[in-house]
Amino acid sequence: MLDDILQALKPTWSRLLDDPAAVRLQVCLTPLVRRGVAATAATETFRADAEYFYPASTVKLLAAVCTIRSVRRLQNDADWRGFDLDTPLEYFPDNGDPIARDDTNTLGGALTLRHCIRRALIVSENPPHNRLYEFLGHAAMNVDLKALGFVDAVINHRLDDVRPPEQQRTTPRITARVPGGSRLELPRRVGASLAYPTDIPRTAVGDGHVKDGALVNTPMSFATPGAEKNRVRLVDLHALAIRLAPNLTPDHDAAAALGITSDDLRFVRSCMTVLPRESDNPVYDPVAYPDDYVKPTLQGVRAITPRAEILNKLGWAYGFVTDASVIHTMSAPNPTDRHAVALSYTMWACTRGVLNNDDYDYEELAKPFARDLGRCVAERMLS
């Protein structure tokens, strides 16, 4: 099926598909439900793990799930029993004033983990993700990812927040006050430098990069020893999207396998599915955040199946565009109209080959390709 889809794209996208290594294209496809019946076909892949890709904001989904898992574990401690995702927090960075408010929260402007997750997933904002990373701590987040099955993942830094490596691994003291309880505290933590996989192909990217405002005519390394960038495998992101998909397994079983509650699972799903204009907290301007802002396959999918919904997490940075998604029509009233497919891909949209200068081909290359990919998948698997 995946080969058929890529062949259908080839007349329009031969420049990508004739030399997929040049754009670092990788794709995963899994049929999940066909005409209301669970599919039995295995996952198909195209060039999976062929080379490094920068996961960008897809790591926000990992942080969200790990954060909820951490909260549920803390609640087993008698001192933290009243703590939850809605407990107001205060952060104490080493250099700067304490951070205790989020004015986008319509419920009194409190800084809470729930609201950070909403912002990080609905329109992929960076600062709230960084609050989740700091709540977890560098070392603890990486340990938890291993427990979730992300054995090859390494998360080393915040997003859109340039700091030396040790400062990236340092997270601030955080306090919380539970109703009727004392002030709780997470101490300042410093994670150790982690072993980075040495067998990842092509961790040097491009022909040049901008550093300190000047062009350097060498590829940009994403695996500089001691300062390695975040790394996640596409097949693992794809598998997590499937684990979060609706109507495949009972919510209780799916949630228990992730170490969260059924309510938590439904909350994460809603954040991954809701369109920005549909969110009531935070409130987003639909002009600034159109329906396809973080759902690049949406236009193509809905051109074929207007009722389809997309549960996904998108990331884009340094020219890399990565999307892990489940596309489904599971709310259709007629069981024979219920379909679901998991689709994940990554590509590098940087035809000029220079990184770190914000001169990428997102509009000209990445978005049109995603639209057409979504349309082809919907034609063959959702109709």
Q: How far apart are CA 147 and CA 141, in angstroms?
A: 10
Per-residue confidence (pLDDT) for residue 79, from 0 to 100 = 86
Adjacent-strand bridge partners of 215: 210
Our CA angle for 110, 113, 117, nearest 5°, is 115
Q: What percent of the chain is modeled with pLDDT above 90?
A: 93
Instruction: Give how far the C-alpha of residue 319 lies from the chain's centroid of Cα atoms, to the nearest Å.
Output: 16
Token pair of 121, please?
Answer: 């997933």
- Report whether 324 contacts 48 (CB < 8 A): no
Per-residue confidence (pLDDT) for residue 8, from 0 to 100 = 98
The pTM assigned to this predicted structure is 0.97
Choice between 336 and 168, residue whose per-residue pLDDT is larger? 168
250 upstream amide cis, omega within 30 of 0: no
- Report whether 63 contacts 138 (CB < 8 A): no
How many helices and strands, by DSSP H and E, does the chain display? 11, 16
Residues 6+ apart with CB under 8 A from 180: 82
For 76, the enclosing helix (H) or strand (E) is none
Angle between helices 262-273 and 59-74 (to 10 degrees): 160
- Report whether 198 contacts 334 (CB < 8 A): no
Tell me the pLDDT tens digit for each residue of 325-382.
Answer: 999 999 999 999 999 999 999 999 999 999 999 999 999 999 999 999 999 999 999 9
For 37, the enclosing helix (H) or strand (E) is strand 37-38
Q: What percent of the chain is modeled with pLDDT above 70?
A: 100
Adjacent-strand bridge partners of 89: 176
Per-residue confidence (pLDDT) for residue 179, from 0 to 100 = 80
Tell me the pLDDT tens digit for each residue of 231-276.
Answer: 999 999 999 999 999 988 899 999 999 999 999 999 999 999 999 9
Does the pLDDT value for residue 106 go beyond 80? yes
- Report whether 327 contacts 343 (CB < 8 A): yes
Angle between helices 234-244 and 59-74 (to 10 degrees): 50
- Report whether 340 contacts 30 (CB < 8 A): no
Adjacent-strand bridge partners of 174: 91, 186
What does pLDDT average to over the chain? 96
Q: How confident is the model at residue 84 (pLDDT cuts 50, 70, 90)?
A: very high
Per-residue confidence (pLDDT) for residue 178, from 0 to 100 = 86
Does the pLDDT value for residue 145 go beyond 90? yes
Residues 6+ apart with CB under 8 A from 217: 207, 208
Considering all CA atoms of the chain, what is the largest pairwise distance in Å, rounded to the nearest integer? 65
Instruction: Give how far the C-alpha of residue 71 lies from the chain's centroid of Cα atoms, to the nearest Å.
Output: 20
Per-residue confidence (pLDDT) for residue 78, from 0 to 100 = 86
Place of tokens 């927040």: 161
Token pair of 180, please?
Answer: 């009727």
